[in-house]
Amino acid sequence: MEKSPMEVFQAFGQGLMSDTNSWKEVVSNDITFNGPVDKTKGLDAFAKLNESFMPMMKGNEMKQIIESGNFVITQVLMNIEMPSGKKMELDMTEWYEIKNGKIQNIKVYSDAEEFRNAVKAL
């Protein structure tokens, strides 16, 4: 039996937090990611993006989560610490499109001006 979009999303999140590559099992090889700072296509590019972002994430708080059709939509407060030591909180909305038990597309929306400026300063 195929996993529901919510089950796929949960497996993805658990895999990311486990500091293993198990999250890749629920991500399509041709995933597209569109965020306020970067855009990627393909599993390798997405994995590289995660490798640079995940060490900066020091915690998160799930504010809302909704499953609708093939989508899981979240509102998350992320606590970020830049390599410079600067800390910030990002209020993000994420749209995960899930088909055939795999995440096909992720779109992230946030006011990331502070984050972009901090990345440019590195």
> How many domains does the chain divide into?
1
Task: Determine the pLDDT at residue 55.
Answer: 85
| DSSP letter for each residue of 11-37 | HHHHHHHTTSSGGGGGEEEEEEEE-SS
**Model pTM score:** 0.88
pLDDT tens for each residue of 37-89? 889 999 999 999 988 888 888 989 999 999 999 999 999 999 989 888 888 88
> Three-class SS of residue 76?
strand
Query: Domain containing 33 — which CATH number?
Result: 3.10.450.50
